[in-house]
Amino acid sequence: MSSKIEPVKLSFRIARATDADEITELVQLAYRGGKATVDWKNESHLVEGPRINSDEVISIIQKEGSEILLVESDGKIIGCVKVEKLGDEASIGLLAVNPDYQNIGLGRRLVQKAESFAIEEFYCKTASMTVLSGRDELLNWYLSLGYRLTGVSMAFECGLQRVKIENPHFREIRKPLVSV
């Protein structure tokens, strides 16, 4: 079990292509590997293999209407979240927090930053996400943030990943965004 670190100073910024390798390592660590323990904050007990690669991260960063927001502590990237404009809706995903910095509210702050960014920069009225089946505690956490199930399910495309559950799929959740 890793010891939790209280960040000294947090700063938020938009990712650059030069951050791709560090973001890839963070996402892999948070979702699938390293110090990540089998709990509701990762999916290593459901899926094995690379979650994302650096080329995919660069593609997200360079895509029109898509950004990855970062949180840093002392110059080190410790969290990220993707925001993509799809009409008047923002698709939020790739939420990852370094396991050493989990359980101190950074995930919630990143979601709030993503929602604010969606309102202020993309002029979105709603936000949507997808949650992998089998991640009920994560789903409940998003529901506590005001998201609601839409009833829509989407296929989970495995790619190079090895799935450890039957019938993997994503469940869609959505939330109206309110300007503050």
pLDDT above 80 (res 11): yes
Residue 67: CATH number of its domain:
3.40.630.30
Quote the CA–CA distance of 156 and 161 in Å, as a whole number: 10
Query: Domain for residue 3, yes or no?
Result: no
Question: pLDDT digits over 109-119, tens only?
Answer: 999 999 999 99
pLDDT value for 6: 60
Question: pLDDT digits over 100-141, tens only?
Answer: 898 899 999 999 999 999 999 999 999 999 988 777 888 999
CA torsion sign, 150 to 155 to 160 to 165?
positive
Q: Give the range of the structural domain holding residue 45, as residue numbers without chain letter.
A: 10-176
Residue 156, token pair as written in the block: 């989970």
pLDDT above 70 (res 73): yes
Query: Domain for residue 32, yes or no?
Result: yes
Query: Domain for residue 1, yes or no?
Result: no
Query: Domain for residue 169, yes or no?
Result: yes
Sheet holding 66-73, edge to edge: 10-14, 66-73, 76-86, 89-97, 126-132, 169-176, 148-155
pLDDT above 50 (res 160): no
Whether the Cβ atoms of residue 162 and residue 48 lie closer than 8 Å to each other = yes
Query: Domain for residue 53, yes or no?
Result: yes
pLDDT value for 37: 54
Quote the CA–CA distance of 148 and 37 in Å, as a whole number: 27
* Total domains present in the chain: 1
pLDDT value for 158: 61
Per the prediction, the chain carries an average pLDDT of 85
pLDDT above 50 (res 38): yes
